[in-house]
Amino acid sequence: MRKKICWLICAFLGWLWAVQSCTTTPVAKAFRFKEKLSDYGFFEGNLRSLRPKAGVLPYYLATPLFTDYTLKDRFIVLPADSAMRYKGAGLLEFPDSTFIIKNFAYLNSRQEKVMIETRLLFRDPADHQWKVMNYLWDSTQQDARQWILGKKIPITLLDDSGAAHTTVYQMPNTNDCKRCHINNSVLTPIGPKARNLNHDAGKGNQLQQWAKLQKLAGLPGISAVAKLPDWQDSVNYSVKERARAYLDVNCAHCHTHGGDAYNTGLFLEYEQQNENHLGFMKSPVSAGGGAGGLDYDIVPGDALHSILAYRMNSTVPGTAMPELARTVIHKEGVALVSRWINEMKR
């Protein structure tokens, strides 16, 4: 009798295991980045031409991040039959399996476009988190290969006015990428925010075009969507508006709640109105020698004695801000922010 009971119990447990095995949802495997950029099939023809295939959406920012006067190409690749979703002025909501592509190149002394690196962000359906990978273009300019460790690349490039700059371009390692892209310990995109995409990109308003293509859902009337000024557009925007937009894009991903520079108390988002958080007569928390002996982040009416302008106008490690993404001074950006500070009332 005892043997029969044991046999029945074992049979029941075996049946229960079989049922659970059939009904349990398989655990998705974590995404693995491909070895070469060409392996993804994002582009057609000669890879360096970056001609997007159908379904690969180019996108353009009203005010882009400055990176050593490099030329940037940006794309979004959505999974089939899916769409981004408008969630207010900030970052668009992207479905799982979305790629965000950002390519960096420079113009050499012969006016030729030279590819440097391509960065990919991917929203992994296994855990719904963003993952990052860098690809270094080879010497033949035919393809880019996965490159995790970063690289220092000597280049001579032309800036926006045609002046030559010789520098050592700093290709970041993947951990460097995370420093700027981390907010509240979560990796996140920082560029494709609705307010920075809300402009005419050559074929009408970019957001409206995506909505018509059914690639963007939930978009309200375009007049209800916040708009970030074009930092170079002096016809339609004031010095203050353009300078604030520039600081938002170049600095606020770190200088914001949850950002890498949260402890400084200097918050540079475009919407920020608190003068102390904006640095007006605010003593730095941790600048140390990088402050150049100056006392306040911003001295209204006096850019020369403002730490913000001083650090933007430096390439010295430990002083230069932003401390990543550039090795040369963005003289036009420094001039704009300095003018904004100088025009403030004391």
Q: Is the same domain home to 245 and 208?
A: no
5 within some domain: no
DSSP-assigned states of every residue in 98-125: -EEEEEEEEE-TTS-EEEEEEEEEEEET
What element of type H or E holds 85? strand 84-85
CA distances to 6, 177, 182, 320 from 330, rounded to whole Å, are: 79, 20, 24, 11
**184 lies in the same domain as 94:** yes
| 249 and 185 part of one domain | no
End residue of a domain, out of 185, 217, 249 = 217
**Which positions ≥6 away from 42 have C-beta within 8 Å?**
52, 53, 56, 75, 77, 99, 101
How many domains does the structure of the chain reveal? 2
Residue 263 phi/psi, 5-degree rounding, is -65, -15
346 residues of the chain, pLDDT tens digit each? 444 444 444 444 454 444 444 445 455 677 899 999 999 999 999 999 999 999 999 999 999 999 999 999 999 999 999 999 999 999 999 999 999 999 999 999 999 999 999 999 999 999 999 999 999 999 999 999 999 999 999 999 999 999 999 999 999 887 766 666 777 677 889 989 999 999 998 889 999 999 999 999 999 999 999 999 999 999 999 999 999 999 999 999 888 888 888 788 899 999 999 999 999 999 988 656 788 889 999 999 999 999 999 999 999 988 998 877 789 999 999 999 999 999 998 7
Alpha-carbon Rg for the chain, nearest whole angstrom, is 24
228 in Cβ contact with 270 (< 8 Å): yes
- If asked whether residues 209 and 243 sit together in one domain, one would say no
Q: Is 45 found in the same domain as 66?
A: yes
Non-local (6+) Cβ contacts of 138 within 8 A are 144, 145
Q: 28 lies in a domain?
A: no
- Report if residue 140 sits inside a domain: yes
Range of the domain at 291: 229-342
Same domain, 127 and 242: no
Q: What distances in angstroms separate CA 276 from CA 284, 299, 302, one per listed residue?
A: 11, 11, 16
Q: Are residues 213 and 235 in the same domain?
A: no
Among 159, 120, 157, 118, smallest CA distance to 138 is for 118
Regarding whether 205 and 128 lie in a shared domain, the answer is: yes
Q: With respect to residue 80, please indicate whether it lies within any of the assigned structural domains.
A: yes
Q: Which of 171, 193, 217 is the last residue of a domain?
A: 217
- Residue type for position 68: D
Has residue 208 been placed in a domain? yes
* Cβ burial, residue 52 (10 Å; 0-12/13-18/19+): middle
Is residue 70 domain-shared with residue 203, that is, in the same domain? yes
pTM of the model: 0.88
Residues 250 and 210 in one domain: no
Sign (positive or negative) of CA dihedral 248, 253, 259, 261: negative
Tell me whether strands 216-217 and 84-85 are parallel, antiparallel or unpaired.
Answer: parallel
- 186 and 330 together in one domain: no
Do 203 and 267 lie in one domain? The reply is no
DSSP per residue, 115-168: EEEEEEEEEETTTTEEEEEEEEEPTTSS-EEE--S-EEEEEEEE-TTS-EEEEE
